[in-house]
Amino acid sequence: MAGPLEGLKVVEMVGIGPAPFCAMMLADMGAEVIRIDRPGNASVVASEDSRYDVTARNRRSLAIDLKKPGGTETVLSLLDKADAVIEGFRPGVMERLGLGPDTCLARNPKLVYGRMTGWGQKGPLAHAAGHDINYIALSGALHAIGRPGEPPVVPLNYIGDFGGGGMLLAFGVLCALLEAGRSGKGQVVDAAMTDGAALLSAMMYGFRADGSMNNQRGENLLDGGAHFYNTYACADGKYVSIGSIEPQFYAQLIELCGIDDPAFQSQRDPHGWPMLKYRLADVFRTKTREEWCALMEGTDVCFAPVLDWDEAPRHAHNLARETFVQIAGVTQPAPAPRFSRTPAAVPAAPSAPGADGAAILRDWGFDRLAIDGLKENGVLG
């Protein structure tokens, strides 16, 4: 492996969504992350082909039956040698498996124990089931996304699972590892998607406090209320995005659109936004998306075409920056961010669950007799 986290050893208790995303981020940056799967466990994606389980890339997989004698002790032996562990189960599950933080930290006092849940390790909802949509609803974030008078729009699972979940856990684990390097002591990182989604809304809560953002979705500066911060359909049915917030950028938008209507001079008056959106929509319908790109792309209008999943990897800017890579025939985002001295390597394709068990144990200090014994006892899948 290569990257700024080379030499870091992490154990991932396999789950779905945010914890694997966190593990992917760490592995992309050079950490050695091994996945603990359940024997016979299929890939978390719909396809049986592990290549498509993109967030499982860059890690080897070890299948351990924790119900068999010796299963829990095998994981504990791995954690004795690890810098961090990541798990995404409901509160109490790891404790019932004999792998709770008290047990692990007693054996390895420097271990950073990363816990990823929706509601957190404590609170009235801590043990309830939930998904991204529920966590961002409770934080206030979901309420703000959508058009006026319409139900909130589900923003895929970006905010709770990945931004407010996986990235938050990665940040927390690395903070704790940095502190452990100074103190020699590990600790538990309690990353909750409700907390993370709320944190992502920090600026919005500031806007609410000073009165510059109201509680009605689709009526504010950044939620589609403003005509100069919106998406518009073109003559070919494709869309463009406009973000001309600053006055000088707005002036260029008006110039390149060929607009001479004096009503557009009142940029910041919210009362005029609905009417100006309709008028600007009429303007954008006069050209195709390609024609608008030729006119505005690369200018200070703050413009970009709205690209679909197939178009984005082919865009000239993304190609120049190598924003996307192809691994085992699967197009996917490249590791980010970029580092000048310790760049990340091209990720390896995801392993099938349990595919690397014996090799991992050997590399982590298990001798051949011990590995053979685990196989014979059905511990190693």
Q: Quick count: other Cβ atoms within 10 Å of Cβ 268?
A: 12
Token code pair at residue 322: 């190598």
SS3 290: helix
Q: Would you place residue 381 in the very low, low, confident or very high pLDDT band (cuts 50, 70, 90)?
A: confident
Query: 373 burial class (0-12, 13-18, 19+ CB within 10 angstroms)?
Result: middle
Q: Would you place residue 43 in the very low, low, confident or very high pLDDT band (cuts 50, 70, 90)?
A: low
Do residues 18 and 318 lie in contact, with contact meaning Cβ atoms separated by under 8 Å? no
Q: What is the pLDDT of residues 327-342, one digit of tens each?
A: 999 999 999 999 999 9
Residue 42 pLDDT > 70 = no
Residue 1 pLDDT > 80 = no
Query: Going by CATH, does the domain composed of 9-200+324-376 fall within 3.40.50.10540?
Result: yes
Bridge-based pairing of strands 112-117 and 84-87 is parallel
Q: Alpha helices of 155-304 — where are they, by DSSP H?
A: 167-183, 193-200, 202-210, 247-256, 273-284, 289-296
Q: What are the CB-based long-range contacts (under 8 Å, 24+) for 365-368? A: 365/81, 366/77
CA distances from residue 210 to 205, 218, 236, 245, 270 in whole angstroms, order as listed? 9, 18, 41, 19, 16
SS3 7: coil
Average pLDDT value for residue range 100-116: 98
SS3 109: coil
Do residues 173 and 84 lie in contact, with contact meaning Cβ atoms separated by under 8 Å? yes
The CATH homologous superfamily of the domain defined by 229-233+239-305? formyl-coa transferase, domain 3 (3.30.1540.10)
Q: Could you tell me the pTM of the whole model?
A: 0.95
Q: What is the pLDDT of residues 111-161, one digit of tens each?
A: 999 999 999 999 999 999 999 999 999 999 999 999 999 999 999 999 999
| CA terminus-to-terminus distance, the chain | 25
Domain boundaries, the chain: 9-200+324-376, 229-233+239-305
Q: What is the pLDDT of residues 264-321, one digit of tens each?
A: 999 999 999 999 999 999 999 999 999 999 999 999 999 999 999 999 999 999 999 9
Catalytic residues: 131, 161
Q: What is the pLDDT of residues 65-96, one digit of tens each?
A: 999 999 999 999 999 999 999 999 999 999 99
